[in-house]
Structure 1
Amino acid sequence: MEIEIIALLLVAAAVAGWFDAVVGGGGLVQLPVLMLAMPGTPAVSLLATDKLSSIAGTTCAAVTFSRRTKVDVRLALISGIPAVVLSGLGAAAAGTLPSEVLRPVVAAALVAVLAIVVARPSLGLSSTPALPTRGRIAAVVLVTGIALPFYNGLIGPGTGTMMVVALTTLLGIDFTRGSATSKIVNLGSNLGALLVFAWQGQVLWLLGLGMAACNMLGSRLGAGTALRRGSPFVRTVLVIVVSLLLLKLGVEELV
């Protein structure tokens, strides 16, 4: 592989780590660059390598957030444990469904996320935690521990962003705490997918480890930025990331 391509992938991993730490959506940067830089490589191998890089950055961001902001670790683990299994199932099913079937579903989910954030300007800007009733906890687990992890293993991009909005909406917490909590859940989600991909022999380990180091650097910087700038900044980045992801899906549809 040419040195220019390797450098591009390492930079993309660092940028993806920053976005992922702030509000999720790192796959919006990292996976498309992998596909453009390595067009002859099977898509499932690129997805597997993306997961190896992402899990390193997510771990770094989770540690940084947990040290500097309040995170409901118990609730995060309740969702994070089933996320390991469901993302593994999604990874096992990767490649069995055509993107033409999945793309409209993803686009609809992202439109809903953007509509919720735009229609509710105060969402995520302050923290007024809702009472952790059984129904609310069940909703959190269903969305962030089951549905989104399965999608993460199957496709991936946008999972972290949708998870932040789901936690913020369902729990009544601000975007900074939502992003922090989502990192623990997403760690389990990425782990389950990575284990399946590794068992299948799909991971490009040397490239993935190099990208993982850069992703960790970007995640560390991103987590620090989110904590320093606060929820208004996270909200702005969230709207930008979701809009770009929708634009990407629209361009793919036209092409």
Structure 2
Amino acid sequence: MELLTVTLASLFAGFVDAIVGGGGLILVPALFSVFPGAAPATLFGTNKGASVWGTAWATLQYARRVELRWAALLPAAGAALAGSFAGAWAVTLVSASGLRRLLPFVLLGVLVYTLVRKDLGRHHAPRFSGRAEAAVASALGAVIGFYDGFFGPGTGSFFVFAFVRLLGYDFLSASASAKLLNTATNASALVLFAFKGHVWWHIAAAMAVANVVGSLLGTRLALKHGAGFVRGVFILVVSALIAKTGWDALKL
């Protein structure tokens, strides 16, 4: 029953994550609820062991239908991977409690900006090209990658918003691009957790299959309905993240 519960949660998480990110909002609480006595690092590691496959699969699916700007995204993925390692190292030295209190307000700012700017992310009009685009994308990858390693909630949604707001992508292209960078940060964290022995591989394997299935369904839905649909899901996910992180901050 425990395995069935977390596998179903992984399916839904993969579905949501493939559209706009935020799958961890579903899967991580499910793992903590089903295995309350487990070490948090083990549950985080097991989550990464499943979610990395979903994000990788979504990246492949998007790449077949959406024109990704590889010259900018590949360096950005490398920067995100390095940033994630640095963030994971930093959290061993510094408490993330201050960021935990600040996060709901940051997310609220993202939500309000998206709602006010009704045309935001509806049209694909990249602001940069060549080395400039690669530099900006890499800076975003490093900063948000660091955040993912240091704390994590909402990483995929932050990537999507940053690509829309700063690089001028539409929501569909931003979501597709975010999957590549999120795969890099997930892989980075997974390597670290695995090295420390914090992955339940037998559970992660079952969840990974479900996550890929959910990712396939979510990707197809996003490709079918386009940027407007992804924008709507983004607003829902960010709203849920505000509620979740706000509640967590109140409990500190």
TM-score by length of 1: 0.93
2:193 is aligned with 1:197: yes
Taking structure 1 as reference, are residues 186 and 250 closer, same or farther at Cα in structure 2, changes over 3 Å only? same
Are the aligned partners of 1:90 and 1:193 in contact in 2 as well (CA < 8 Å)? no
1:124-180 deviations in whole A, cap 9, x for unaligned?
Answer: 11112223275554333222x111111212222210011011011122111001101
Alignment match, 2:118: 121
Taking structure 1 as reference, are residues 70 and 88 closer, same or farther at Cα in structure 2, changes over 3 Å only? same
Alignment match, 1:75: 72
Alignment match, 1:150: 146
Alignment match, 1:31: 28
The alignment yields a C-alpha RMSD, in angstroms, of: 1.6
2:127 is aligned with 1:130: yes
Alignment match, 1:140: 137
Alignment match, 1:49: 46
Are the aligned partners of 2:154 and 2:241 in contact in 1 as well (CA < 8 Å)? yes
Stretch moving more, 184-193 or 92-101: 92-101
Taking structure 1 as reference, are residues 95 and 7 closer, same or farther at Cα in structure 2, changes over 3 Å only? farther
Alignment match, 1:247: 243
Shift of 1:95: 5.6
Secondary structure at the aligned position of 2:153 is classed as coil
In structure 2, what is the Cα distance between the partners aligned to 1:138 and 1:69? 22
Are the aligned partners of 2:71 and 2:134 in contact in 1 as well (CA < 8 Å)? no
Secondary structure at the aligned position of 1:64 is classed as helix
Instruction: Quote the sequence identity (%).
Output: 36
In structure 2, what is the Cα distance between the partners aligned to 1:68 and 1:47? 32
Unaligned runs of 5+ in 1: none
In structure 2, what is the Cα distance between the partners aligned to 1:134 and 1:111? 32
Alignment match, 1:182: 178
2:58 is aligned with 1:61: yes
Shift of 1:97: 4.2
Secondary structure at the aligned position of 1:230 is classed as helix
Alignment of 1:167-178 (within 5 A): 167-178=163-174
Letter in 1 for 2:153: P
1:19-56 deviations in whole A, cap 9, x for unaligned?
Answer: 11000111111111111111111111111111111100
Are the aligned partners of 2:22 and 2:156 in contact in 1 as well (CA < 8 Å)? yes
Unaligned runs of 5+ in 2: none
1:80-115 deviations in whole A, cap 9, x for unaligned?
Answer: 012112212223344654453221232233122212
Letter in 2 for 1:77: L
In structure 1, what is the Cα distance between the partners aligned to 2:70 and 2:106? 26
Are the aligned partners of 1:20 and 1:58 in contact in 2 as well (CA < 8 Å)? yes
1:16 to 13, 18, 27: 13
Are the aligned partners of 1:176 and 1:230 in contact in 2 as well (CA < 8 Å)? yes
Alignment match, 2:231: 235
Letter in 2 for 1:190: N
Are the aligned partners of 2:73 and 2:137 in contact in 1 as well (CA < 8 Å)? no
Alignment of 1:78-97 (within 5 A): 78-94=75-91, 96-97=93-94
Taking structure 1 as reference, are residues 215 and 99 closer, same or farther at Cα in structure 2, changes over 3 Å only? same
Letter in 2 for 1:160: G
Aligned pairs, number = 251
